[in-house]
Structures are given as C-alpha cells and as structure tokens.
C-alpha cells in the first residue's frame, strides 16, 4: 500500500478530530489512517494514497455517470457511511471532494477528511433508523439528526453523479444544509434523466 503525507504547522480542532475519529476506523471504503508523526515544527498525518483522485474531478472531467456506475459507487458510499455510524461517528462533511478513488480498474471508493466529524449518541442512530424506515416527510424536513442529514447528503451526491458537472460545482459552493442542497437540485439546469430507476430517497434500487 502507498501512503500520502499531510503536514500541518499547528494543531487545531479539525486536526484533533481527524486524529481521534479517523484513526479508529478500518473499512475498505474509508481512507486508511496509518500514523501520526510529530516533528519540531510540524505534525504529519500518514494516510493511504488514493491515486484515482476526487470523485468531483472525475465528474467534472468525464461527465455524468451511467446509472450502473452511479449505483456501483453509491453502494460503496452507503457501506462506508453505515460503518462510520456504527462506530458512533458522523462525518458531517460528506461531499464529492472528500470521496476518493483508489485508481484500480474497478475503482474502490474511499471516504476521507474527518476534520468536521464528531461522536454521536445511540439516540441519534436510533432516530436515523426510525425516519428512514417510516419515511415520514414532515420528520425528514425537520430532523436535526446528524446521521440523517448525512444520509440525505449522500442522496444528493447520488443525484449529482447522474447530472453533468454543473451540479457538482454548485454543491461545492454551498453548505450541507438540507434545504440549500435541495434548492440547488430543483434549480439545476441539467437534472438527472427522468427514466432513472434510482429513486425514492435514492436507496430503494441501489442494492
């Protein structure tokens, strides 16, 4: 395995969260955290190198995915996010820039950058499962669960892989608030094709 070295001149809250939360995770769809190196002037984080680059760059360069491609990557994303939640951690910054590919012929998706992550409670996990199971629109709209917001964000990312690069660029500029992302989807000039089978919250046809 090839590793990448990230150097930080000072330790802030984001670096602390990256170390504390990321280092405890071991999953094929999460960038591997190797070790921390402390020098007289810098702190270095050693992590798995993903030679395929960002999913954002892939979409901007080559355009929208086919439905089969989108399903292939989204399945891996959900596996990774579900594992993160099972470890009582919420990523909180899930976006195309923080999703990497390993460069293999059949690329493996890798979630990275846990600088905004946080520990979550069993109540948050339970609330996510209840809402996803019952799919009550009013609760989805008003839910403050970080876990649920992460699943919602994943669904928006699925939509962005099925549209052209304009939606990916738009998502790069806005916050992860549910309403602002939904507005971007509705106002985007290049929506996903109407014939898509991936529908109903993005989960029903993925597996």
Among the listed residues 12, 68, 93, 164, the single catalytic one is: 93
3-state DSSP of 40-52? CCCEEEEEECCCC
Tokens 């890798």 correspond to what residue? 110
DSSP SS3 for 30: strand
Residue with token string 């984001």: 14
Angstrom distance (rounded) from CA 207 to CA 190:
26
Q: Confirm whether 146 is a catalytic residue.
A: no
Closest CA to 162 of 112, 200, 108, 198: 198
User: Residues with catalytic annotation?
Assistant: 93
């Amino acid at each position: 395995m090839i590793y990448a070295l990230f150097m930080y001149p000072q330790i802030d809250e984001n670096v602390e969260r990256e170390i504390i939360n990321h280092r405890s995770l071991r999953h094929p769809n999460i960038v591997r955290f190797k070790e921390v190196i402390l020098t007289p002037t810098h702190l270095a984080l050693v992590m798995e190198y993903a030679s395929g680059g960002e999913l954002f760059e892939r979409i901007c360069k080559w355009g929208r995915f086919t439905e089969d491609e989108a399903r292939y990557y989204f399945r891996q994303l959900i596996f990774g996010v579900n594992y993160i939640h099972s470890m009582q951690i919420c990523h909180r910054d899930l976006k195309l820039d923080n999703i990497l590919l390993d460069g293999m012929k059949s690329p493996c998706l890798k979630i990275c950058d846990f600088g905004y992550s946080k520990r979550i409670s069993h109540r948050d996990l339970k609330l996510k499962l209840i809402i996803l199971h019952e799919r009550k629109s009013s609760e989805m709209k008003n839910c403050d669960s970080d876990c649920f917001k992460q699943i919602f964000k994943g669904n928006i990312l699925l939509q962005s892989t099925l549209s052209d690069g304009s939606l990916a660029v738009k998502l790069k500029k806005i916050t992860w608030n549910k309403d602002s992302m939904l507005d971007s989807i509705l106002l985007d000039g290049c929506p996903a094709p109407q014939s898509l089978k991936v529908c109903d919250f993005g989960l029903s046809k993925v597996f």
